[in-house]
Amino acid sequence: DAGITQSPRHKVTETGTPVTLRCHQTENHRYMYWYRQDPGHGLRLIHYSYGVKDTDKGEVSDGYSVSRSKTEDFLLTLESATSSQTSVYFCAISETGRSSSGANVLTFGAGSRLTVL
């Protein structure tokens, strides 16, 4: 069990307000990810982190920022939420040793449903 906790699990907010989603892991995994899930698009990578203070953009990073000041926490911030950011957000960590092939495997948190009115 990778011990991934996302908070909040549900949030309703208004356009223009800032929102921060938190992903917390308990096993010191180096790589952490934020994805969003939208109908017809599957999972799209927003940002990822490869260590404390080391982050990089994914394919849909506009309007989002991230921070990782501690190994266990990866924060996703919407500085000024828009209706197009209504989505379900999944945090994931990349685990080694879970596959016989040696490749890393993503393990996901339970998701955070964000509605921007």
Partner 1 sequence: ILNVEQSPQSLHVQEGDSTNFTCSFPSSNFYALHWYRWETAKSPEALFVMTLNGDEKKKGRISATLNTKEGYSYLYIKGSQPEDSATYLCAISGTYKYIFGTGTRLKVLA
Q: Could you give the C-alpha distances from 114 to 7, 69, 76, in angstroms and in order?
A: 11, 24, 12
Closer to partner 1 at the Cβ: 47 or 75?
47
Biggest CA-to-CA distance, the chain: 47
Closer to partner 1 at the Cβ: 42 or 79?
42
Binding positions for partner 1, rule: CB under 8 A: 31, 33, 35, 40-45, 48, 50, 59, 90, 94, 98-99, 101-111
Query: At its nearest, how many Å lie between partner 1 and the CB of residue 56?
Result: 9
Count of beta carbons in the 10 Å neighbourhood of residue 59:
9
Query: At its nearest, how many Å lie between partner 1 and the CB of residue 106?
Result: 6
Closer to partner 1 at the Cβ: 28 or 101?
101
Count of beta carbons in the 10 Å neighbourhood of residue 62:
8
